[in-house]
A and B are shown apart, each in its own frame.
With several copies, the nearest count.
Chain A
């Protein structure tokens, strides 16, 4: 079983990376980009085969290590 965790900055938190990416895309001539945000994904291979308990476990991992909940939000996706 796999878990994919999407981590992004909370709304309102300054995202200098995203801003810089959007700006350079515009500079390079990609006109249609109005905003960019950068986030990260963490993909975990899990030995568990119960999606329910896996999700709870990953939830804990996010809180304790993977996400910085002071400034980041996260979403967990469990894939078989």
Chain B
């Protein structure tokens, strides 16, 4: 599988995403600069975390208007798998690929911790490889992760199984405890937690080891094969 990681000015999890992708897919992802107008031919695109454009104006707002995102929107419409983690999720909502918006955390503080999540839909192209596991821990690290959508949208998300991840012990005030959602076709995932930071037994902020993120990438790998 050939993947790509999009790099915006002040993306800062681009390397983390690339490391995870290379480790799990066995192939180095292409690093694609935000000013490119067309994506190279790839099977999977990751929009990484960070503070694109300093998160000025609104998190993800300016990045969502970059040339490369226009092309991603087009290709996602044709079924290209796309995942946005953290700032990537914010960019995907700002770009209109996913509904809703991510507002300031309810506690008005940045929060970084290992976060327990419930996999609500284990039957997506991003979660199949969890094979029935319903509880995972990924790190979270964000200031604007408080998911908001109007009631109709929330109902629709619930009804169609598009809520993929929920927080156990909501850290930021997200409505319905939403941590990650996908689009209608199921090929675009956005989530605040960082599965790409949970792919190494040694590394999970305090030595407890975190490999819960691996299956997410494996799921995509199997799906595009």
Contact = CB atoms under 8 A, between A and B. Distances in A.
Contacts of A79: none
Contacts of B56: 16-17, 20-21, 38
Interface of B: 53-54, 56-58, 61-62, 65, 93-94, 99-101, 103-108, 146, 148-150, 173
A61 B93 CA distance: 18
Given A13-B148, A71-B103, A20 B94 contact: no
**A contacts with B: majority SS:** helix
Contacts of A13: 103, 148
A17 B108 contact: yes
Interface of A: 13-14, 16-17, 20-21, 24, 27-28, 38, 64-66, 68, 70-71
Contact of B57 (A20, A28, A70, A71): A20
Nearest to A36: B57
A65 B65 CA distance: 8
A27 B70 CA distance: 14
Contact of B65 (A16, A28, A70): A28
18 contacts: A14-B106, A14-B173, A16-B56, A16-B104, A16-B107, A16-B146, A17-B56, A17-B57, A20-B53, A20-B108, A24-B53, A24-B57, A24-B65, A65-B61, A65-B65, A66-B57, A70-B100, A71-B101
